[in-house]
Structure 1
Amino acid sequence: MKKTAMIVVLLAGLAGCTVLPPATPVSQYRLPPAASGVGEQNEQLTGLRLARPQATGVHQGNRLLVLTQTQSYQAYGDARWEAPLPELWQDWLLDALWRDGRFAALSREENGMQAEWELAGTLRALEVDLSDGRQQVVIRFDAQLLRTQDRRILASRRFEQRVAVNSLNADAVVSALGQAGSELAAGLSDWLVSRSAAG
């Protein structure tokens, strides 16, 4: 009887213990909003829908990525984007175009709304880039402007923006990526307006 009682006490004690380490908190980040402001052209673009960009490999996930000098990818263990990168970029870019002031009747492709123009493309990079020995962030987006009526590609262009970072802290990196995004969006917006006007 005493032996049984001791076993019960030991089991009760073990039930309150754990061999697992405490969980490390994971921060969920969003890309900071683009700086507001109208670009160089006075023209406007009405009826543009944004397709979710294509992406491959690690750029399909929601990890905060680092490209190392060995051309391999690492990821921050305690940081995540709030959505997978293609969705994050699409939503962020939609907001950036609204803030520009020259775009009207914007929509997402998933909404199924009719539009005269469509912005499609491939997200090639949204990450920290240490590959050349410098600390910088980079966003690289291969954009395509399509006329929806005949699905013809009217224009295509690669947009890339880099910003140096003094710290590899996740907060600093996300802030720098927001700056890079704002600078890239300014050029992309001008391009969209001018190409649609010429098309």
Structure 2
Amino acid sequence: MKLKASTATQRRAARAAASVSLALFVAACAQAPRETFDLTTGAGALRGVALRSGPAIFVPEPSALAPTGSDRIVVRAADESVAVLPGVQWSESLPRLFQRRLIDALQRSGLSASSDMGAPMKLQTDVQRFEIDIARNLAVIKVSVQLVDQSSGRAKASRIFVEEAPAPYHVGSPAVQTLSDAAARIALHIGQWTRARM
């Protein structure tokens, strides 16, 4: 009996030690600096070719639910649960980064797009997905768009845009680059669609 008690005590001690080690590891990971990424790479070149003389449009910051609306990079598992990539983050909240990408794309499409509220038309957007889908090895971006007449508050047109791209790597800069490239493409599609309806 003493031997059994001793073995049980040893097991409890081992579990406690493992719990403490795990807690220390998680704390260390939480404190480690994250590598920071941006969606606006090459935005200066886009602005250089922008056509600003077209119709004016107001582009407010897109809406997005957590964790997509944060500065963390989201991954989705096969069971549809979401998590964030460890060790990496956006330079600021994703909606703000995507707002700038949209403005660049709209300017490239010939619109005088800005974050100023005074324009007669508004491009209202909701980022529903902006993530790496691990089960399908895809970067997935889904954005709901409404072109709104500011004077009446009515939607002139609406559409849901989806962009998918192969994402064989689920961590670090390769995953982020895939998302950034997909963001550039979907923003360009939104810009062209908006210009055709102004």
Question: 1:78-97 to 2 correspondence within 5 Å?
Answer: 78-97=87-106
- Point out the structure with the larger helix share: 2
Secondary structure class of the residue paired with 2:78: coil
- 1:164–1:21: structure 2 CA closer, same or farther, 3 Å change rule? closer
Q: 2:127 is matched with which residue? A: 123
- 1:21–1:36: structure 2 CA closer, same or farther, 3 Å change rule? closer
Question: 1:45-194 to 2 correspondence within 5 Å?
Answer: 45-98=54-107, 100-104=108-112, 106-108=113-115, 111-112=116-117, 114-130=118-134, 133-194=135-196
- 1:176–1:143: structure 2 CA closer, same or farther, 3 Å change rule? same
- 1:128–1:21: structure 2 CA closer, same or farther, 3 Å change rule? closer
The CA distance in 1 between the partners of 2:130 and 2:42, in whole Å, is 15
Correspondence for 1:29 among 34, 37, 44: 37
Identity of aligned residues (%): 24
Q: Return 5+ residue gaps in structure 1 as ranges.
A: 1-18, 38-43
Q: Return 5+ residue gaps in structure 2 as ranges.
A: 1-23, 48-52
- 1:45–1:152: structure 2 CA closer, same or farther, 3 Å change rule? farther
Q: 1:16 is matched with which residue? A: none
CA contact (8 A) 1:33 1:92 kept: no
The TM-score, its normalising length taken from structure 1, stands at 0.75
Q: CA deviation at 1:96?
A: 2.7
State the aligned residue count. 166
Tell which has more relative contact order, 1 or 2 (C-alpha 8 A, sep 6+): 1
Q: CA deviation at 1:101?
A: 4.8
CA contact (8 A) 2:109 2:195 kept: no
Q: For residue 85 of structure 2, what is the amino acid of its counterpart?
A: Y
The CA distance in 2 between the partners of 1:186 and 1:154, in whole Å, is 20
CA contact (8 A) 1:138 1:161 kept: yes
CA contact (8 A) 1:33 1:96 kept: no
Deviations, residues 123-182 of structure 1 (Å, cap 9, x unaligned): 10111012xx32111111100001111111000000010010222232111111121112
Q: 1:41 is matched with which residue? A: none
Q: CA RMSD in A?
A: 2.4
Secondary structure class of the residue paired with 1:92: helix
Q: For residue 80 of structure 1, what is the amino acid of its counterpart?
A: Q
Secondary structure class of the residue paired with 2:140: strand
The TM-score, its normalising length taken from structure 2, stands at 0.75
- 1:21–1:125: structure 2 CA closer, same or farther, 3 Å change rule? closer
